[in-house]
Structure 1
């Protein structure tokens, strides 16, 4: 239980270094999307990469090359789905949740908060973190597809064009 053999330790060290180096190079090659703020799809791929790396390191039944193929497959699938989502609205809707307006013109949208399972206190916290203490000075708060809350002050709302598809629901 505490120690099996030095060869197992050496295997973990060698495979770990090689796998880590491969993963770093692969992530750099696969582009910034891999390291971007995570939506649900990216989160799943990240967890799968971590799980695969752990399996490569700790399971001697998995050969190093098999592990590299598994890591490569995950990164390739993420790149293919990310590209498909960039060019296809239907794929984007399947892989990325739409942003949700949770506050407009200083008023919380209680129905949206309930649908998204967000507490009013979470929105208030995001507003405070933006440096604002008065809901009346907040034009909009949007729950983004990555789970972050974007706070837009009245001063910075402009024509609200950054709200995109959310704009029709603002009237």
Structure 2
């Protein structure tokens, strides 16, 4: 809330993305929120809700939000209505607060990969054999990356600070101490 307030106060070009998967750990949004219309909460920051399970809708919504920001109109809230198929963490099996039918229903009706696959096939952009070959290749790449990650040593604590800043031009920022001993 504070970041949103400051962004609005200073008309900063910030897109605040709210990923709404309808559950906070094991609590549904209906039980945890007075209003589930998250994109309207910052009444002083405009926003919109988009289907986060539709890659093309997300692309269009992000383009709109970006245009809003870069045209000097200040921050924007983008709520992406999505769903998580699994529990929130290792301690959350995800099966105590929703049914298998709910999960499989969402997967059947709204799965983003299946949606894109169907569009590619319906519009003759790709053939089923091509998509299956891509999926097989992608699975191999993922398996290779997982194997590499599992075989790799843990990074040094200092790596937490690598690649997290962008060149801000003439903006001077306070530097962070390079003393990583408290992290060990």
Same fold (TM over 0.5): no
Per the normalisation by structure 2, the TM-score is 0.21
Per the normalisation by structure 1, the TM-score is 0.22
Bigger Rg over Cα = 1
Q: Relative contact order, CA 8 A, sep 6+: which one is greater?
A: 2
Bigger proportion of residues as helix: 1
